[in-house]
Amino acid sequence: MQVSERIKDALEAQADQGSLKWLNEKIKKLEEDKSVRDLFMSYSLLASKFDKGSKLQIQNSDSEALIFLTSHNANLLEVARIYLLIKVLEIDRDFYGPKVANIIQVADITELETFLKFLDLLPYPEMFRFTAVEALRTNISVIFDAITLNNPYPAKYFNDQQWNQMYLKAAFMERDLSKIPSVDERANADLARIISDYAHERWAASRKIDPMFWRPVSGFLNPVLLRDMEHLIDSEDALENKAGALCCYHSGKEEAMQILNRKSDLKQQIEEGKLTWKNLKN
C-alpha cells in the first residue's frame, strides 16, 4: 500500500467527513486535469477544512509513516497538507514537483515547519534538499528545529559540508544536540576540526560549550584534539569530564585511553554501560 493510502485511512478515521469528501473530489480532479490553480487553491483551503487543534491518533500501526507522524504529534491540518503533497507527487512527479516547490517557497512559518518535519515521508525526498539546506540559514528557531531535531532527513540526504553546517549552527543556537539523530554515523574529520576550533574560540572568551557537542570527535583524535580531551578530563565541570571520557573511550586510541585513566571512575562507568551519550546529562 502506498504511503498516501495509509495516511488517508488514518485521516478518514478522524477528520470531518465533509472536508474529506471535498479533498477526495479535489484530488480526483488534480489527477484528471493537472491544474496548477486547483492545486494552489486546494492546498490553501486545507487550512479552513482540517483542524490544527486535533492530533492524529493511531493505535498499534505497523506503518512507519503513521508512527512517524504520531510520534511527532502531527495535527490533522499537518497530516492533510502532507497527504496532499505526497499524493500529487505520486500522481505526476514531473508536473507537480515544481508546483510543490512553489508552494513551499511561499510557505508561512507553520507550513514550512510541517513540510520540513515530515519531508522524509514525501516521495523523492531528495528533490527538496535545497529547501532543507536553506532552512539551516534561518534565525527562526522553530524552522531550524524542524529540519535539525528528531528528523532523519539530514542524515540521509545532506552531504558532509551541509551536515557540519547544521551541527555547528545547532550548537551555536544552543539547541538540544541529543535530539539530532545519527550523530555518530555522520561524524567526519572536518567536523572534528570545526568542533575543536569552535571550542577554542569559546574557551578564549571564557564561555561554556554544551558537552554533547564533542560527541562526533571520537574517531578523529589528532594531537590537537587529544589536548582538548585533556582539557575536558581535567576540567572542574563534571559534565565536561564525562564528555571527555566518552570521547576517549570510544576512540579506542592508546593515547586517549591514557588520558581516560586519570578518571578511572568514569572509565569504569562507561565499561559497565552506566555512562553513555544518552544519559550524559542525567
Binding site for other proteins (CB under 8 A): 37, 40-41, 43-48, 72-73, 102-103, 105-113, 117, 140-142, 145-146, 149-150, 207
CA 134 to chain centre: 14
CA dihedral 69, 64, 188, 270 (to 10 degrees): 90
Shortest spacing between CB 269 and other proteins, in angstroms: 29
C-beta of 10 vs 112, nearer to other proteins: 112
Q: Residue 110 or residue 178: which is nearer to other proteins going by CB? A: 110
User: Using CA of residue 134, residue 139, residue 143, residue 144, what is the dihedral sign?
Assistant: positive
Least distance between other proteins and beta carbon 47 (Å)? 5
Nearest CB to other proteins, comparing residues 174 and 254: 174
Is 16 or 255 the residue whose CB approaches other proteins more closely?
16
Contact in structure between 97 and 130 (CB atoms under 8 Å): no
Question: Residue 48 or 282: which CB sits closer to other proteins?
Answer: 48
Q: Which of 206, 204, 139, 205 is nearest to 175 (CA)?
A: 139
DSSP string for residues in 50-103: S-TTSBP--SS---HHHHHHHHTT-BHHHHHHHHHHHHHHHH-HHHHHHHHHHH
Q: How far is the CB of 80 from other proteins (least distance, A)?
A: 13
Q: How far is the CB of 99 from other proteins (least distance, A)?
A: 11
21 versus 208: smaller Cβ distance to other proteins: 208
Q: How far is the CB of 33 from other proteins (least distance, A)?
A: 17
Helix 264-271 crosses helix 238-251 at what angle (to 10 degrees)?
Answer: 60
Dist CA 154 CA 175 (whole Å): 16
Beta bridge mates, 75: 55
DSSP one-letter string for 163-209:
HHHHHHHHHHTT--GGGSTTTTTT--HHHHHHHHHHHHHHHHTT---
Shortest distance in whole angstroms from residue 210 CB to other proteins: 16
Shortest distance (Å) from residue 128 CB to other proteins: 17
**Nearest alpha carbon to residue 165 among 184, 191, 147:** 191
The nearer residue to other proteins, 104 or 243, going by C-beta atoms, is: 104
